[in-house]
Amino acid sequence: MRGIRRALAQSLATKVILSTVLLSLGVISLAGSALNSRLSDGLRSAAFNSAISESKYTFFDAEYKLAISRDSTVDERKKILADIIVNATTQVVKEARREVIFLRVPRAVKPSISYEMASSFVRPKNIPANLRIEVAKSAQPQDMYTNIQDSAGYSREVLIVGKRISIPSGGPYEMYIVFSLQDQTTTLQLIRNSLLITGSVLLILIALITYLVVRQVVSPVREAARIAMQFTQGDFSQRMKIESQDEISILANSYNEMALSIEQQITRLENLSRVQQRFVSDVSHELRTPLTTLRMASEVIYNQRATFEPVVARSSELLFAQIERFERLLEDLLEVSRFDAEVAVLEPIDFDVINLVKRCVTDFELGEVDTQSGIRVESDSTSVLIKADVRRVERIMRNLLSNALDHADGKEIIVTVVATDSEVGIGVRDFGSGLDESALIRVFDRFWRADPSRARVRGGTGLGLSIALEDARLHNGELDAWGRPGKGAHFVLTLPRIAGESINGRPIKVTPKDFHEDIFYQ
């Protein structure tokens, strides 16, 4: 039942065929039964009319023969009666069609001689009592349909016509002619069977025709669906075939126009993206070469600053520092535009993430002599092998650490590494100025700074966290941020152990373990 319902829900063809067959079944059975009843009525009334007229003649004939036998002997009269019976029953080929019986009217004065007589297959008990009453009452012939048992015990439908006649010296008698309706019943049965067979064949044919017709409509629709599916999957060259001028071809036409327009749009966008990519690459080359010269020149000047006047010496320091900053900014910008152009490629290799984290931390501790923040690395494992783009993971770590150092206010920074079978989580927790709700939403935005008035200790470009997020997502990983004003911040990087696989959870929760919401004091 559920299977049928599913087939109905999923297939237009099944639905249409089923409803057509059901409706046709209704129409055919109505028409069939109407036809059947008309035919049987017609047959019945024809048989009835012929029986009545035949019986009129037979009665008349019998009355006449009896009338002229007034002067005959009893035996002669019995002979006449037998002749009447034989005449009436042998009028037609089939003996079984007619039976005749003479019965004495009951309650009449019982005469000495009985003329009760019958043809071979009828008995007095076959004549229904109420018919006999009718016949006895009336001078006109009376008729009645009934069933009689034949000698073999089968019930047969018959028409009995009876009339009161008088037999000279015998008194009032009833004469009955029994017409067998067996032929008629057989014919009706035949008609009924033919109707049934015709109806069934018709029904099957209708189902078949519906199927063919529906297929004509449904298969272009299916084809359209298939083509649209392929289009969705990126095969923009797919078009529908137009073979006629019907509604389906109109659909195909508009679909093809839509596909063409989408394809053109995509091509245009692809071209734009290619132009953009090209531009990025050109900018990179064009800017980098002069920047290299600038950089080296400023370095030469900077190294000589001891011999300059103080103003020139300071200027050379500023020049040197700003060129460096400019360079970092250019690198970050190029990286961002690579992400935007979707040309950033992952180059995963196997490496130990704990090793990497420790090395980054050491690098920072060596480089950051001016900060008091210590960095502590906590992990249950000593080595966690992952397959990822080591350059990007290191860049994420550096961005997170640099961000934490910028906001730690000299307090400790804790880096935790937790690995599960399929993911690795790296949390960077600081206890500095923290972030409020509105800042958390924007923390990954480009060029966004938590506190614009804050000194830029490390001279970050404002793109670091945004690039870190893109780097994480390129691995199918995630970068989450948590923060409370005055309670510090917590950034959690979650990466799949094998880059590109999906992450099913967060080994480290973004809300730090050490933090409990002070709901009771609010």
Q: Does 289 bind another protein (CB under 8 A)?
A: yes
Q: How far is the CB of 296 from another protein (least distance, A)?
A: 5
Per CB under 8 A, the segment of 166-174, 279-287, 434-442, 503-511 that binds another protein is 279-287
Strand, helix or coil at 146? strand
User: In the 8-state DSSP scheme, what is residue 498?
Assistant: B
Interface characters, 290-319, with another protein (x: CB under 8 A): xxxxxxxx-xx-------------------
What radius of gyration, in Å, describes the C-alpha atoms of the chain? 55
Task: Spell out where 357-496 has E strands.
Answer: 375-379, 385-388, 413-419, 423-430, 478-484, 488-496
- Among residues 349, 372, 374, 456, the one that binds another protein under rule CB under 8 A: 349
Q: Cβ of residue 341: shortest distance to another protein, in angstroms?
A: 12
Tokens describing residue 269: 């966008």
**Contact status: 321 vs another protein (CB under 8 A):** no
> Are 349 and 392 within 8 A, CB to CB?
no
Footprint of another protein on residues 471-490 (CB under 8 A)?
none
Single out the residue of 520, 518, 494, 497 nearest to residue 507, CA to CA. 494
The one segment of 179-187, 341-349, 449-457, 475-483 that binds another protein by CB under 8 A: 341-349
In the bound state with another protein, the residue whose beta carbon lies nearer, of 181 and 397, is: 397
Q: Is 447 left (phi over 0), alpha (psi -120 to 50) or beta?
A: left
132 vs 392, beta carbon nearer another protein? 392
d(CA 181, CA 109): 35
- How far apart are CB 432 and another protein at their closest, in Å? 27
Give the binding range for another protein (CB under 8 A) out of 92-100, 121-129, 245-253, 286-294: 286-294
Q: How far apart are CA 421 and CA 423, in angstroms?
A: 6
Q: SS3 for 382?
A: coil
Nearest alpha carbon to residue 168 among 67, 59, 60: 67
Q: Which lies closer to another protein via its Cβ, residue 19 or residue 293?
A: 293
In the complex, the smallest distance separating the C-beta of residue 363 from another protein, rounded to whole angstroms, is 7
User: CB 288 → another protein: shortest distance, Å?
Assistant: 4
Count residues contacting another protein (CB under 8 A)?
Answer: 29
To another protein, the closest distance from the beta carbon of 439 in angstroms equals: 31
Please list every residue from 249 through 278 that binds another protein, using CB under 8 A: none
Rounded least distance, CB 230 to another protein, Å? 31
The token pair that represents 507 in the structure block: 């080994």
Closest CA to 477 of 416, 392, 360: 392
Please tell me the distance from the alpha carbon of residue 394 to that of residue 77, in angstroms, as a whole number. Answer: 136
Find out whether 332 and 353 touch, Cβ atoms under 8 Å: no
Does 339 help bind another protein (rule: CB under 8 A)? no
Q: Which stretch binds another protein (CB under 8 A): 15-23, 144-152, 345-353, 497-505?
A: 345-353
Other Cβ atoms within 10 Å of 354 Cβ, number: 20
Q: Which of 54, 327, 340, 368 binds another protein (CB under 8 A)?
A: 327
CA distances from 244 to 60, 221, 228, 338 (A): 78, 14, 20, 48
Residue in 48, 211, 236, 351 binding another protein, rule: CB under 8 A: 351
Shortest distance, position 289 Cβ to another protein, whole Å: 5
What type of residue is 52? I
Task: Name which of 101 and 356 has its Cβ closer to another protein.
Answer: 356
Sign of CA dihedral 199, 203, 209, 213: positive
Q: Within 10 A of 502 (CB to CB), how many other CB atoms are there? A: 9
Q: Which stretch binds another protein (CB under 8 A): 218-226, 243-251, 343-351, 450-458?
A: 343-351
Strand partners, 166: 172
Residue closer to another protein (CB basis): 65 or 295: 295
Among 134, 263, 352, 501, which residue sits at the site for another protein (rule: CB under 8 A)? Answer: 352
Cα distance between residue 137 and residue 166, in whole Å:
14
* Residue with token string 């050491």: 362
Query: Minimal distance in Å, beta carbon 505 to another protein?
Result: 24
> Is 281 an interacting residue with respect to another protein (CB under 8 A)?
yes
**Taking Cα atoms as reference points, which of 173, 192, 191, 163 lies closest to residue 51?**
163
In angstroms, the CA 117 to CA 175 distance is 10
Nearer to another protein, 295 or 509 (CB): 295
Q: Please return the burial class of 2, using the count of CB atoms within 10 Å of its CB with bins 0-12, 13-18 and 19+.
A: exposed
Residue 357-396 contact track with another protein, rule CB under 8 A, x = bound: --x---x---------------------x----xx--x--
Q: Does 86 bind another protein (CB under 8 A)?
A: no
Judged by the rule CB under 8 A, the positions of this chain that interact with another protein are 281, 284-285, 288-297, 299-300, 327, 345, 347, 349-352, 356, 359, 363, 385, 390-391, 394
